[in-house]
Amino acid sequence: MTFFDLLMLGFSEAITPANLAFCLLGALLGTLIGVLPGIGPTAIIAVLLPITFFLPPLAGIIMLAGIYYGAQYGGSTTAVLVNLPGEASAVVTTLDGYQMARQGRAGAALAVAALGSFFAGTVATFAIAIAGPTLSTFALSFGPAEYVSLMVFGLLAATILASGPVLKAIGMILIGLLLGMVGTDQATGAERLTFGAIELFDGIDFIVIAIGIFGFAEIITNLERSGSEGVKLAPLSRLWPTREDFRNSWGAVLRGTGLGTLLGLLPGGGATLASFSAYSLEKKVSKHPERFGTGVVEGVAAPEAANNAAAQSSFIPLLTLGIPSNNMMAMMLSAFMIHGITPGPTVLTNQPEIFWGLVASMWIGNLLLVVINLPMIGLWMKLLTVPYRLLYPAILLFCCIGVYSMNNRIFDVMLAAGFGLLGYVFRKAKCEPGPLLLGFVLGPLLESNLRRTLLIEQGDPSIFIERPISLVMLIATVILLGLMILPSFRKTREEAFQEEEA
Amino acid sequence: MSHDRHALRRPAHAIEAIRLRPLLVITIAIVGFAYAATHGGFVLASLWLIIAGSLADPGGKWRQILPLAAGLTLFGALVFVYGLGVQVPLWPF
């Protein structure tokens, strides 16, 4: 089938009433959680994961994807109107977006953000459609040895691109790998780290960890901040940007889209990293960098385009290689697994409707989001006045039901409560728990591929440096490790993330 | 510079103050839900979870919490137990 036929297949899948409805639902939910500060896409997707089990595979995945990129749209709304990032990736949007709002140009900022995001989403959708088949033919030549090296590289790279100290990120990954080992060993049948508990023989469910660490722990830390009152907001002005706004922002949108699409591909990359990098790039190429932070339209256009592009392009490694690059993609991977689908090159050939349906739904979702966000903006802003104290009991209930419904047993709920405490400790210790999820998901994959390689080679590890692709990955890993230890690189990395913490 | 020689060391950060109220209340609410769901049915468990959980926030008012608990329990029972077929008894009897 040609490219065009496949794209048509995708659209015919995505446009069925049920799939369209789930796409809309995902986009609405994504906007909702994007608008509401304190509720992130990771927590909500963790809550909804068990529910997708009751849906057809494509519908569930379309909805979850919609939540992720929808949150990028919604996050900008809060950032511009109340100077609160609804989403981590919208932090930089507050810098210039809120200043624009104070000058009475809130409408222009929101419209540029939405239209820039739509453009970026369209480009990123095409990037997936083009890169998907190309990369997956490449991935078909991967043996277990290549996968091992790729995963080692991915895990290490994820720590560098995550914010916060590298040592803590590596620690999180190791804990994740350890948690992934719990249960009966597939090859020998030996029990590992089960402490004799029958409930742990099948290992720990991804949802238990995700809801514990991201759902419960997030509720507890949010309540500590005592920000449970709703917020007051600025009045909204005329919506359409001026001709000058358009002229100033199109270059920024193009650069943001390009940078975002590339950064989304990297392990550990994703929407947040992309929006920060796009903002600093824009500041560097600008003729008047001193005006950034006072309400320039480029400072809104670039990061908003970049975060949306990256949110979508981060699907590429997952869909083509079957390897999630950040914690959101780890969630998506487990959404596929719930339905017994292992994402990767074989899905493209055996179940093309899944891949192409998802790609087509992303473009439709972006179109829906522009409609949801621009004319309906007043409605979303009303939601901001709902206090958190009325929202969190609902999230708490959905979390509990979600965990319980996986296996219908209280043990999982108790375990999730335990992971909630653990997640709380991590937050207090300033350990970003994202890499833990990545390690947990990749651990079993890494282990089984490593075993397979060594089994084929009868215990001889030299294959890792004899296969060229594997060798390149390992050299890249060593270079990364070397860079991390170099003081000058560490300094620049810390400076790059300083803006983020401010 | 001593900073450069200790490439893996960094200045210590104090741990933020821990507030026990949300931590304990939320954890106890969840654990209580787990027991109540199997022994007392979904309705009691959900009411407990929301009412107990709401106490984590000092600003809660009973005339907000009670309708919220009733509404969410009804919603949960309709959507999850009837709609999606989650295997949990509704009532203790």
ipTM surpasses cut 0.85: yes
Q: And the tokens for A2?
A: 């040609």
Q: Residues 6 or more apart from B60 whose CB is under 8 A from it?
A: A389, B54
Residues 59-78 of B with CB under 8 A from A: 59-60, 64-65, 68-69, 72, 76
Among A48, A399, A401, pick the best mutation site for testing chain B contact (most B Cβ within 10 A): A401
The span from the CA of A309 to the CA of A120, in Å, is 5
Among A51, A211, A218, A413, pick the best mutation site for testing chain B contact (most B Cβ within 10 A): A413
Which one is predicted more confidently, A243 or A226? A243
Average pLDDT of chain A to the nearest whole number? 85
Q: pLDDT per residue over B6-63, tens digit each? A: 445 566 777 777 888 899 999 999 999 998 988 889 999 999 999 999 998 887 788 8
Q: Is there a contact between A185 and A192 (Cβ–Cβ < 8 Å)?
A: yes
The confidence score (pLDDT) of residue B5 equals 46
| For residue A157, pLDDT beyond 60 | yes
The confidence score (pLDDT) of residue B3 equals 44
The confidence score (pLDDT) of residue A162 equals 66
Mean pLDDT on A251-258: 93
CB-CB under 8 Å, B27 with A223: no
Range of the structural domain that residue A432 is part of: 3-501
Instruction: Convert A159-217 into a string of H (helix), E (strand) and C (coil).
Output: HHHCCCCHHHHHHHHHHHHHHHHCEECCCCCCEECCCCCHHHCCCCCHHHHHHHHHHHH
Q: pLDDT per residue over A207-219, tens digit each? A: 899 889 988 998 8
Which one is predicted more confidently, A27 or A492? A27
Q: pLDDT per residue over A334-377, tens digit each? A: 889 888 888 888 888 888 889 999 999 999 999 999 988 888 87
User: How far is residue B32 CA from its own chain's centroid?
Assistant: 10
- Report yes or no: B46 at the A interface, CB cutoff 8 Å: yes
Q: pLDDT per residue over A308-343, tens digit each? A: 999 899 999 999 888 888 888 888 998 898 888 888
| For residue B4, pLDDT beyond 50 | no
The confidence score (pLDDT) of residue A484 equals 78
The confidence score (pLDDT) of residue A327 equals 82
Chain B residues close to A488, C-beta within 8 Å: none
The confidence score (pLDDT) of residue A277 equals 86
Mean pLDDT on A125-146: 87
Q: Pairing mode, if any, of strands A191-192 and A183-184?
A: antiparallel
Q: And the tokens for B70?
A: 């009733």
Which one is predicted more confidently, A360 or A268? A360
Given the structure tokens 């650069």, which residue do they identify?
A255
The span from the CA of A146 to the CA of A450, in Å, is 10
The confidence score (pLDDT) of residue B73 equals 94
| Highest mean predicted confidence (pLDDT) among A42-46, A377-381, A412-416 | A412-416
Interface of A with B (CB under 8 A): 51, 54, 165, 167, 216, 219-220, 223-224, 226, 228-229, 387-390, 392-394, 396-397, 400-401, 404-405, 408, 410, 413-414, 416-417, 420-421, 424, 428-430, 485-487, 490
Q: Quote the number of domains for chain A.
A: 1
The span from the CA of A186 to the CA of A209, in Å, is 21
pTM as predicted: 0.83
Tell me the pLDDT band of A494, cut-offs 50, 70 and 90: low
Q: What is the percentage of chain A residues whose pLDDT exceeds 70?
A: 93
- Report yes or no: B50 at the A interface, CB cutoff 8 Å: yes
The span from the CA of A86 to the CA of A116, in Å, is 18
The confidence score (pLDDT) of residue A361 equals 94
Return the residue of B nearest to A429 by Cα: B15
Return the residue of B nearest to A401 by Cα: B80
